[in-house]
Amino acid sequence: MSQTIARPPDIHLGTDYIGRPTSRVDGPAKVTGAAKYAAEFNVPGRYYGVVVSSPVTKGKITKIHSAPVLALPGVVQVFSHENAPALASLDKSYKDDGALGGSPFRPLHAPRILFSQQPVALVVAETFELARYAAFILKIDYEAEPHATDLETQRDAGFEPGKGKFGFQPPPAPRGNAKQAYEQAPHRHEAEYTHLAQHSNPMETFATTVEWLGDGNKLNIYDKTQGAHNVQRYITKVFGLSKDEARVVSKYTGGGFGGGLRPQYQVFMAVLAALELKHSVRVSLTRQQMFSLGHRPHTLQYLRLAADDHGALQSVRHAALAETSQFENFTEDVVSWSGLLYQCENVKLDYRLARIDANSPIDMRAPGAATGSFALECAMDELAYKAGVDPLAFRLLNYAERDQNENKPFSSKKLRECYHQGAAKFGWENRNPAPRSTREGPLLVGYGMATGCWHASQQKAAAKARLTADGRLTVSSASNDIGTGTYTIMTQIAAQTLGLPLEAVTFVLGDTSLPEAPLQGGSWTAASVGTAVKNTCDELAKKLLGLAQKMDDSPLAGVGFEDVQFVDGQIRRNDDITQSVVIRDVLQASGEEKLEVESGATPDTAKQLPYSMHSHNAVFVEVKVDEDLGTVHVTRVVNAVAAGRILNPKTARSQVLGSVVWGIGMALMEESVMDHRIGRYMNHNFAEYHIPVMADIHDIDVVLVEEEDDIVNPLGVKGIGEVGLLGVAAAVANAVYHATGKRVRDLPVSIDKLL
């Protein structure tokens, strides 16, 4: 059985995949249309449900005129609070994994209207066109009450949220004396930074297709979500179903950005209709309705910073006031970064909420940090000017070697390398420090930079691995891939661990029939599911070695697991790689058809506890501003990111590229503008809610800074889905100041504010 390979051991063989730029394994399915999204499961004979949204912001429904709609041939039912079954309504324990403090909104529960565009009815018909028409003509009477939707008018109504969302920590206690240090310092800066609500607008709108299987209450629920198990837990609790009855499938997700961290109301409505009608039903939301699912909250941030004559930071005061709904406390970490990013002995941080008559906000990519880093990093730029220090030098001068919030060392922190490598690539040293100093024809040129950090976290996850006698490996875990590259990196990890070619490995996700994985969010999937896949494949490898050792004249007899390598389709002895067996032969020789292992990973909290674990970035931006028109072009961006080990530089780079595009949108375009007279977001469509298009995007350079970390998890992975967004909006705003001499502290930096 042993084979001789004439290859020296120091050459990387074919199955060394981790860290190699690898194209998406799900790419072909996506571009050929083979990848099915929630609204594409063509369950035969299905009904269509169309959601009716409230035009009233606050008040109650007094009458639903269903009869004329039900009289239309082909209309099946109108569901509303009048006829929705009581089951869910009485059960307060049905909180989802993303649940906030307070009581989650319960669709069709009561006549009460809590926010504009609240779903108030579901019209079900035999065709989509008929359902849409019937929903359009359905007359509903409301009794409107006065509403308050403007956070600006609620400045004095702020309260400390206490325990909010799962995992939320209130800001750390003050240290030193921020007020006194500020008053005594020679260089001081104080300002307010604001932004309105923003809505994550994934390309795929939220949709659910429920397949009624006719066997008791058995359902296949094809849902757009970031977590199949989370939706299953919610649905089983609300409708009193068993796990067997509610299988949730979410194989492909056309962008999530946080919107799918909670089960959204279309899944509730589709399941309700399917159970009541004993029939398959599809419910898809419109782009307009996407603006009713939760948003990055309108936030007002007060920053007060001071530095001494050498530019050393003396005082940090950061206070945020953010909107939340009348029924939940949406919390995010806006301010704590300001006690963490820089060395400072006098820090006071505050985070407060105020209620308005809108839906609860929801996490949106790098929640809290994206907006907190905008305010902090603009303020740092302003203080650097006042102190007469270059903005990059100012940050290096105040570099935090330790997490002062937690009083812990960092598990690793290559932010200094981000600064140096990013600045070198960008050409920061060519910057003339004076604002309005650089022109190119009619354009003012500006350079700006900023920085950010994000949690490196790991959650419990499980996985299953199955090797069949044909040499194929299938690994599965009910994770999700919201476009992040999960399919690909998990395939890489599995292939490398077992030494199999990538093509021989299939990774399966997005199905509650698979081992449980956490929601895809928080940039934790690579660390969480990746470690689970690694452990599971290691266990499979051990079993495989056991079988290999039982083969006749096995060259591996008596060696330990640590003494062999799984490479190139073989198990080989480390001390003599010519002593090997072919993996495919092992199963065949054993007579087994397959070898299967189910395992997983939990974070090593004892190892992690003494450390602060974060990813970091430094962003450098060049803008060109047309003074006459006020138009801003982000012509160059260098984003240097240190996020631990990079499993796949190609998909990782794409995550950062996407983050930069997001950041440019956040800086220059995105805002959900509410007309407070009617309490509704008025630009709830892609014509008026602007996001960058290709013409807005120019040169983006991603630097993936090498960083080793054996504390965060065995793979050394910190996650990269969110960190790249941090500081981008601030760097753009800082570059605009450098170009024009004008500070815009209210996002987006739009033409009207610049002129």
Question: Given the complex with ligand MOS, which of 258 and 679 has the nearer CB atom?
Answer: 258
Interacting residue ranges for ligand MOS, rule: CB under 6 A:
226, 256-258, 261, 363-365, 367, 521-522
Helix (DSSP H) and strand (DSSP E) numbers for the chain: 17, 33
Dist. CA 260–CA 254, nearest whole Å: 11
Catalytic residue among 328, 622, 671, 722: 722
Structure tokens at 533: 């896949």
Question: Given the complex with ligand MOS, which of 258 and 391 has the nearer CB atom?
Answer: 258
Structure tokens at 164: 């909010």
Do residues 423 and 639 touch, judged by C-beta distance below 8 A?
Answer: no
Closest approach of ligand MOS to the CB of residue 257, in Å: 6
Question: Given the complex with ligand MOS, which of 94 and 662 has the nearer CB atom?
Answer: 662
Do residues 566 and 498 touch, judged by C-beta distance below 8 A?
Answer: yes
Do residues 230 and 210 touch, judged by C-beta distance below 8 A?
Answer: no
Question: Given the complex with ligand MOS, which of 261 and 541 has the nearer CB atom?
Answer: 261
Closest approach of ligand MOS to the CB of residue 726, in Å: 13
SS3 of 607, please?
helix
SS3 of 399, please?
strand
SS3 of 373, please?
helix
Question: Given the complex with ligand MOS, which of 679 and 721 has the nearer CB atom?
Answer: 721
Sort residue 130 into left (φ over 0), alpha (ψ -120 to 50) or beta: alpha
* H-run or E-run covering 396: helix 391-397
Closest approach of ligand MOS to the CB of residue 599, in Å: 25
Closest approach of ligand MOS to the CB of residue 227, in Å: 10
Closest approach of ligand MOS to the CB of residue 252, in Å: 16
Closest approach of ligand MOS to the CB of residue 332, in Å: 9
Structure tokens at 386: 């006042």
Dist. CA 280–CA 128, nearest whole Å: 13
Do residues 321 and 151 touch, judged by C-beta distance below 8 A?
Answer: yes
SS3 of 301, please?
strand
Closest approach of ligand MOS to the CB of residue 648, in Å: 19
Phi, psi of 652 (to 5 degrees): -65, -45
Do residues 494 and 475 touch, judged by C-beta distance below 8 A?
Answer: yes
Closest approach of ligand MOS to the CB of residue 518, in Å: 10
Residue by residue, DSSP assigns 655-681 as: HHHHHHHHHHHHHHT--B-EETTTTEE
Closest approach of ligand MOS to the CB of residue 258, in Å: 3
Phi, psi of 218 (to 5 degrees): -65, 130
Q: What residue spans of 550-582 are helical by DSSP H?
A: none
Cβ of 322: how many Cβ atoms within 10 Å?
Answer: 24
Dist. CA 52–CA 42, nearest whole Å: 23
Identify the CA nearest to 524 among candidates 614, 616, 407, 651. 614
Identify the CA nearest to 451 among candidates 350, 365, 376, 367. 376
Closest approach of ligand MOS to the CB of residue 226, in Å: 6
Dist. CA 219–CA 206, nearest whole Å: 19
Question: Given the complex with ligand MOS, which of 280 and 479 has the nearer CB atom?
Answer: 479
* Residue 722 falls in the annotated catalytic set: yes
Question: Given the complex with ligand MOS, which of 258 and 603 has the nearer CB atom?
Answer: 258
Identify the CA nearest to 293 among candidates 507, 541, 105. 105
Dist. CA 522–CA 367, nearest whole Å: 9
Give Cα 513 to chain centroid, integer Å: 24
**How many residues in total does the chain contain?**
755
Question: Given the complex with ligand MOS, which of 102 and 227 has the nearer CB atom?
Answer: 227
Question: Given the complex with ligand MOS, which of 446 and 521 has the nearer CB atom?
Answer: 521
Q: Helix %, strand %, coil % for the chain, to 5?
A: 30, 25, 45
Where does residue 752 rank: exposed (0-12), middle (13-18), buried (19+ CB within 10 A)?
exposed
Closest approach of ligand MOS to the CB of residue 98, in Å: 9
Question: Given the complex with ligand MOS, which of 148 and 529 has the nearer CB atom?
Answer: 529
Question: Given the complex with ligand MOS, which of 348 and 455 has the nearer CB atom?
Answer: 455
Rg of the chain, C-alpha, whole Å: 28
Whole-number Cα distances in Å, 267 to 49, 228, 512: 11, 11, 15
Q: Mind telling me the catalytic residues?
A: 722
